[in-house]
Amino acid sequence: MLEVEAIERPLEWLPRTWPPALDAVVAPRGAATVAAIYPGGVLDLLRALREDGLNIDYAASPEGFASTHGGEYVAPAIAFTSRTLAGGVEVFALALQETIGPAKLTRTRLDVAVYVHDEAKVSLVYEGAGPAVPVLAAMRGAARAWRRSVRLA
């Protein structure tokens, strides 16, 4: 069983055992977690991640999809393994950009959370909300910082 004390909120959606070949797990966020409501375009997002070589799976099968109204995009939560975090976050950021679309990217607010599964514990790497472009840049920076901190330890 995964240890979840390393983060503020428990991640009930993570698998109890992490299959060795799995690179990442995606789950809906917030109150939608119970009903497995994912943001619109999540299938395209997962397809883009898989096309880039990540072995990625749902934590909960989609029961429905929320539409993004008013320029708000709540990305699904994603937990990467420690070996795929740095590259995975870059692929995730690019897939989010593709899903939102270049025309809407500058006027969309993005809400995103990225976790890492490392040695049977889960840690929050980045959680942010705001204009999509700076949030994506900060998410990439947080993944690089986490990787540097692991190397120095």
- pLDDT, tens only, 29-82: 765 555 667 777 777 888 888 888 889 888 777 777 766 666 788 888 888 988
pLDDT, one tens digit per residue, over 72-129 is: 888 888 889 888 888 889 888 988 888 888 888 999 999 899 988 877 677 889 999 9
| Inside any domain, residue 16 | no
Q: Which residue has the tokens 């240890």?
A: 3
Contact in structure between 48 and 95 (CB atoms under 8 Å): yes
| Inside any domain, residue 19 | no
| Inside any domain, residue 9 | no
pLDDT of residue 68: 61
Confidence band of 138 (pLDDT split at 50, 70, 90): very high
**Domain total in the chain:** 1
pLDDT of residue 140: 93
Confidence band of 8 (pLDDT split at 50, 70, 90): very low
Q: What is the DSSP string of 22-47?
A: --EEEE--TTHHHHTEEETTHHHHHH
| Inside any domain, residue 92 | yes
Give me the helices (H) in the chain, please.
32-35, 42-51, 85-100, 102-105, 132-152
Query: Taking the CA atoms of the chain, what radius of gyration do you get in angstroms?
Result: 14
| Inside any domain, residue 5 | no
115 vs 112: CA distance, rounded Å: 10
The pTM score is 0.79
| Inside any domain, residue 18 | no
DSSP β-bridge partners for residue 38:
65
Confidence band of 153 (pLDDT split at 50, 70, 90): low
| Inside any domain, residue 77 | yes
Q: 110 is written with which tokens?
A: 């993005």
| Inside any domain, residue 58 | yes
Give residue 47's domain range: 24-152
Q: Which residue has the tokens 């990305």?
A: 75
pLDDT of residue 128: 92
Confidence band of 9 (pLDDT split at 50, 70, 90): very low
Q: 3 is written with which tokens?
A: 């240890």
Q: Which residue has the tokens 């949030």?
A: 135
